[in-house]
Structure 1
């Protein structure tokens, strides 16, 4: 009989906490600080917000099978976030296909320590959630 690691047992809870922090941070920046989200930010929100709800329900029920269903959501959101970061790192790329909402996707409202941006925080959140979901998912026996 194989023993479960601490990360396997608590991965859903930790992924839920990360998604709550990411969702709360997103809402703080837009609703409190008044930062208007660009198109790519909206797409990232589409993939982050449902995870806060679904991971909470899965963690409450102890349903680790949900990790298999939410992993693609995190990966797709992470790819969008990666593309958003590439647009910030290489601003000329953003000029080829500019955002339609009026807010440029290749600029960011904040830049902490010279490299921490909102899209980078979103990318880290998606990577953390995906890693925790991989650790928490149920192995087929």
Structure 2
């Protein structure tokens, strides 16, 4: 099994990661539309990170890169996954604050996007609000941002696999 995974191409890694992104978005949409959990602004930003990763991996799957180009897709994937890890980590930090230190609730994301410049919207969302500090439920002791963080950490294995495959291809193509 290990030997076969080591032989994977960047395209195969990208397809695996793209499937995982679809799974993450499917769970998020299920929780919103079936279970009735309304996403806070940080949840929405985490979804954007999943979609950005899916875009990078989808392009890599279509392109089927080899060598250095596969490494570029791997690095781009790590950047988008890293953004998701940072957002989920920030969300968990907000949820860990004592009630007296939780920021007050702000306006909704739709309203902020209509009124404020994008830079202020990003700053406001990352500073957090009371609604982002609420724990909407737990599964096996973890809140949703905790599970999202785990999802991003698992997803990070895909661009790392793409990088290793690209390095392996590059070494295999180098003159002896």
Range into which the TM-score falls when normalised by the shorter chain = 0.7 to 0.9
In structure 1, the residue matched to 2:138 is 111
* Superposition TM-score, scaled by structure 2 size: 0.65
Change (3 A) 1:32 1:13: same
The structure with the largest alpha-carbon Rg is 2
Runs of 4+ in 1 over 6 A off after TM superposition: none
Aligned to 2:125: none
Name the Cα RMSD after superposition: 2.6
**Corresponding residue of 1:6:** 5
The answer to whether the 8 Å contact 1:37/1:103 transfers is: no
1:122 aligns with 2:148: yes
CA distance in 2, matches of 1:23, 1:60: 20
- Where in structure 2 are the equivalents of 1:17-96 lying within 5 Å? 17-63=19-65, 64-65=70-71, 66-92=73-99, 95-96=102-103
Name whichever structure is richer in helix by fraction. 2
Gaps of 5+ in 2: 109-128, 172-176
Corresponding residue of 2:17? 15
